[in-house]
Structure 1
């Protein structure tokens, strides 16, 4: 089960279990466009003696056609053009505007996930689907992937490979109802990604794989874990229903081939318009002598100025303190030096509203990127101005309001905290109190929602109330003649290790993220876009090597962590800090 659901309307093409399909343009199956004048089309007979249009008319028609196509091309490939229209247009022209011969392979493209349609309504419908037959009421205990189960699989790099598998009960029969939550991981020594999964609602699930040629020389493993069954991850006390069984660990090999993927470009404002990301972590360097942390608990494995390899990022890779790992999605991210970050943030006001992960991100941004050593002001609730410690110009105001509870010393209310009148007034005061409002707002639902809402339906009602509050607040800012802040939603993390079973488990948080993003889109709140931290954290959530279960950015310290080893890697959250800077600065 995943947040990626198939279109709710229209027939779904059937797939034999395990059949791989090559796809084109965001994973959609390549289709032939109907010909307007192909063989067999009826044509009007010519008049006797007619030789057809004159050469002058043909030339004029061709010229006008080129003008029209050029105008369409400009309008659909411009910075403000709708991405879906742009993709449809490029698909119509055959990928590059010049078309391609019939039967020729489609040009390679990056795997992507389309923005879901009617996500909340479709999810509620699936959640409430009754049983009533053996294949519906049976419990999933295994899966069937014939193609991958039968032999060692070698796949070509760059291409998007799609596989379908079926949920099986304990007798080996197929189930005919969805709702299972599968954690799927594609990993090698220098590649980690979360293949997007589609639950078709009939017991079948589809996932897609893609690896760039640069990393196709090693062995990969495809791991499939069944964490929860039959939407039981949405239960209020989900730990009682965990299944957590590793059903497959399949070795895969990718052939580099001669094809290459389009170069990733540095993320710009329009790139944050996607509701769901499908990125990957790649390892571009490794210091084999840096297996342990230093005395301060830091992983300073590469020199700070160690350059990143294009197109995976732009800037000094060493600043992530990740021993070579970096995240990229449908675009790549600039890694900021302190000077570049201060030039961008000077004079800005950032407003954060979310769970305690925000606290970690703010502290890591100040410490590792901006060079601010004293971060004692960074608590659950604060409003402070920071100055550039280098002595150069630079001031930055940050306001952070913890939303886990209206009382900042308490927890587990989440969005319900807005039902408290005093808390609502506190939030409003930063937008209605004087003639300046924050430049950027970063919202987060938070893990606390997983512990508060007793059902999916009650959460949907809670999101409606919360989003109406934020929409109304932005409307009041607009009515005062002030510039409305750019509002981003940072999706909630995928909880890791032991926390994968608890009330804020990844199954619930992925679905909660989808509901809230859709509500914000419907009410026009997301003027900035989405930052998919769920996708960023998921490849690292299987154990506690990079998290304490619910945080990915705890301050470094040379201490024994939950996995019994010394140290705690914080680079996943530090990467998020750079992604936030891309969203703020590259617009």
Structure 2
């Protein structure tokens, strides 16, 4: 595509390759969505300052300028700044001064969004098996080039808008690659905002990154891009042999106020859980700098009745014990009190099938939300009734079946545990009674990451699992009973050291997508709870996880990272999100 535009009186011609209105898919086979009236806009005022040595001299664009960055922003500007690689909290106070409002051409934006690519599995296999034979295909990515933005200077962008930047994968000699499959971890962090910018893979060595900040959170941020794996190597049976884990881009960005606005988030309804992939963010609405860990390992930083701030959540934010952080996505979530949670769960039967993260989440829901602190643990496999300590007439039945192995004392089979007839019969039994679970929450991934030798083998296992569960649900329907509501809770983004292991986040994200596709095609699931997106902003270290679990019980003990205690609020947020799914009208 040939683009011609004028900047400061100069006519600039640039050939932009690897672009179509349809975009492409990112390295996890997701498709991005922008408003239908979005205009393909280019950087205005394209003047860059070279301040490597004083005095600063402007670098003007000329007739031969190529690869000028394209974004969906009507106005974006690059200015000089020092220490641009610092984190947002370390950027000088000078950068935090309020930036004047600058003109925008459009007043209404939309939230960054993404969905699974149609025919995800077949497309993924085709790209994985794409032949090489050329130097640009057989080489490995070593770094990236983002023309016009490689100098590390502070970038200014308008809040509310979706900004998309293109970059090119380069090999060790600095030559462009012409195959995709690289896995980039992205992080956009400020004092009160943490999110994962969306990466798209055009399958020819070029990529793009899209980011967005709400106008309520203008300020200076740090954008970090990490190359974790090259060319599908994270999907291998022994990914630790291939992990790259190198920061390839880090830049400070100032988001400034503009007239552009985003639609107000609404509290999640039942239909909101029909979205396969979430593009959320964590925002902060309170902070206690003097907060210390309690003797029981808990962080009671804010009062339990510390209120949520609309529209980011509804209820008491203090119950999350997150020191002000809360997660939201295309909708926001209600924080449940014990009273409202019991009212919702009264006479319900919830069936869990998945890994040990289910065990942690159930215990956290019982302890923190349902006011049952005396339950210190639950086993991998159980079927129990729980009563409201303040109203024994309110009871809920919870069944949890571990699927890491058909033998509950063992591990690392995942979906292949369904090959055992005894395990199949155990599951079928719960759906053969006079009453059946009204809601099923299923998951698989961590144990699958260790078990399956490649993505093709996992896709076969996912097909088998989808077929099994479809058979179970059809048997329910044939008996004249209502089909349960079934949610897939996506596998967590494994953290810290686990990012290099068999259940690394690249493999888990791909496995999530493949299994969701199979379950949807079989007509098994009604919705998705995207715990991968929820955990991703906190997965870069082990402060909120032990590598594979985000909900380990609070304890004032030495944690995986050497510090005393750990943060457990990410899984507690999941407990509230599950209640939103269970109770939504």
Query: TM-score range, shorter-chain basis?
Result: 0.7 to 0.9
Q: Which moved more, 1:262-271 or 1:249-258?
A: 249-258
Q: 1:156 aligns with which of 155, 158, 169?
A: 158
Q: Structure 1 residues 278, 222: closer, same or farther in 2, change over 3 A?
A: same
Gaps of 5+ in 1: 8-12, 25-102
Alignment of 1:23-422 (within 5 A): 105=106, 107-150=108-151, 151-217=153-219, 219-290=220-291, 292-375=292-375, 378-391=378-391, 393-422=393-422
Cα deviation per residue 1:372-421 (whole Å; 9 max; x = unaligned)?
12325611000000000123641000000000000000000000000000
Instruction: Number of aligned residue pairs: give it.
Output: 500
Query: Which residue is equivalent to 2:70?
Result: 20
8 Å CA contact 1:412–1:449 kept in 2: the answer is yes
1:505 is matched with 504
Q: How far apart are the structure 1 equivalents of 2:262 and 2:290?
A: 33
Q: Match of 2:27? A: 2
- SS in structure 2 at match of 1:319: helix
CA shift, 1:539, in A, is 0.3
Between Structure 1 and Structure 2, the one with more strand by share is 2
1:2 is displaced (CA, Å) by: 3.0
Between Structure 1 and Structure 2, the one with more helix by share is 1
SS in 2 for 1:394: strand
Contact 1:18 1:163 in 2 (8 A): no
Where 1:350 maps in the other structure, the secondary structure is strand
> How many angstroms apart in 2 are the aligned matches of 1:522 and 1:388?
39
More deviation, 144-153/233-242: 144-153
Q: Residue 17 of structure 1 contacts residue 164 of structure 1 at CA under 8 Å; is this kept in 2?
A: no
Would the aligned equivalents of 1:17 and 1:163 in 2 still touch at CA under 8 Å? Answer: no
Partners of 1:474 and 1:17 in 2: how far apart? 53
Query: Matched residue of 1:253: which SS?
Result: strand
Q: C-alpha displacement at 1:353, in angstroms?
A: 0.1
Contact 2:363 2:376 in 1 (8 A): no
Aligned-residue offset at 1:446: 2.7
- 1:113 alignment partner, SS class: strand
Task: Give me the whole-angstrom Cα distance separating, in 2, the residues matched to 1:22 and 1:4.
Answer: 21
1:556 aligned onto 2:554: yes
Contact 1:6–1:200 (Cα < 8 Å) also in 2: no
TM-score calculated relative to the size of structure 2: 0.83
Q: What secondary structure does 1:431 align onto? A: coil
Whether the aligned pair in 1 keeps the contact of 2:30 and 2:116 (CA below 8 Å) is no
- Deviation of 1:361 (Å): 0.4
Larger Rg: 1
Q: 2:570 aligns with which of 572, 575, 582?
A: 572
Within 2, Cα distance between the matches of 1:158 and 1:465?
Answer: 43
Q: Secondary structure at the match of 1:114?
A: strand
Superposed CA RMSD in Å reads: 1.7
Residue in 2 aligned with 1:55?
none
Does the Cα contact within 8 Å between 1:347 and 1:394 map onto a contact in 2?
Answer: yes
